[in-house]
Amino acid sequence: MSALDPRLAGRTVTVRVPATTANLGPGFDTLGLALALYDELTVSVRDEPGAFVDVNGVGAGEVPTDESNLVVRSIAHTFAAYGQELPGLHLVARNVIPHGRGLGSSGAAIVSGIMAAKGLLEGIVEIDSLGLLARATELEGHPDNVAPALFGGLTIAWVTPEGPQFKKLIVHRGVSPLVLVPQETMSTALARSLQPESVPHADAIFNVSRSTLLIAALIQSPELLLAATEDKLHQSYRASAMPETDRLIGELRAAGFPAVVSGAGPSILVLCSDPGQRLEAVDLVASRSATPWQSLVLAVDFKGATVVLHPDEVE
């Protein structure tokens, strides 16, 4: 580990990271989509050691505000990966992405920290796209949420002996995402624990065909989204942990809406083929659920995470 680089003194960066939805039905642990709902973060280097976090919005009073905070740990991980000593830090987080609902909040926190580190280290260490993805995957465990958070759009992520890789695709302008968010949360670890070690050969083939079709539907043919979002690999196994989500997805799909579990759930993602279809889906859920669901009518984010090193801080 090198000594603290004097160029870090007084630096401040601002980071913006989108929410994400992973799996998209059949694309388990592979496909992810960035959504136009953003957490924002400002990080300033302090003269005193240690890290202090001010959390505003979602997670305020709940998430740690010291060095154990996931964003701080992600900054520290990135500094360590490139042999840099971590300075004292002051973080101000403005969070809107719901926690524990399948919208990539932990991935967004990890990406926020890594992008903050990239900005703070500008001119000291250069971190390319694959470096960002590698650091994020080391912390998250799999790249399907962090890839779209980093790069925006629709991402295909896979892992090689050389590390995680990604391909970003531009989504057809007719694709209109709707996310329905319940009051209850869902643990990603619990959702994963319900997944079997193996699945029937026929189910694997089914999902290969649907995930391939899904890419075509998202980038070229939105009218195919209902067929393309069918899944036999993970959603049915997790249904017992979120029965209301499972029931409403069944009702939405029976009515012709391409509804799937968003990430690990329990939120529902509806990949509508036109904006008007979203309002119909919202009405259906409102009329058939006894519990309240928040409706997030969102655009696809095409830019991904951004970081700005304040111009007056650059030497």
Token readout for 287 is 């009329």
Q: Round to whole Å and give the CA distance between 206 and 237.
A: 16
Domain 176-297 sits in CATH at 3.30.70.890
Where do runs of H (alpha helix) occur along the chain? 70-81, 105-120, 129-140, 146-151, 188-193, 201-219, 225-228, 235-238, 243-254, 275-288
Binding residues for ATP are 98-108
DSSP 167-184: EEEPPPTT-EEEEEEESS
CATH 3.90.1580.10 fits 6-169+301-313, yes or no: no
Diameter of the chain by CA atoms? 62
Q: What is the DSSP letter of 68?
A: T
* pLDDT (tens place) for every residue of the chain, 315 residues total: 578 999 999 999 999 999 999 999 998 889 999 999 999 999 999 999 999 999 999 999 999 999 999 999 999 999 999 999 999 999 999 999 999 999 999 999 999 999 999 999 999 999 999 999 999 999 999 899 999 999 999 999 999 999 999 999 999 999 999 999 999 886 666 656 666 677 788 878 888 999 999 999 999 999 999 999 998 776 776 777 889 999 999 999 999 999 999 998 899 999 999 888 999 999 999 999 988 999 999 999 999 999 999 875 444
Token readout for 296 is 């997030």
Binding residues are 98-108
pTM of the entire structure?
0.94
Residue ranges, comma separated, of all CATH 3.30.70.890 domains in the chain are 176-297
Question: Which has the closest alpha carbon to 29: 143, 122, 196?
Answer: 143
Residue ranges, comma separated, of all CATH 3.30.230.10 domains in the chain are 6-169+301-313
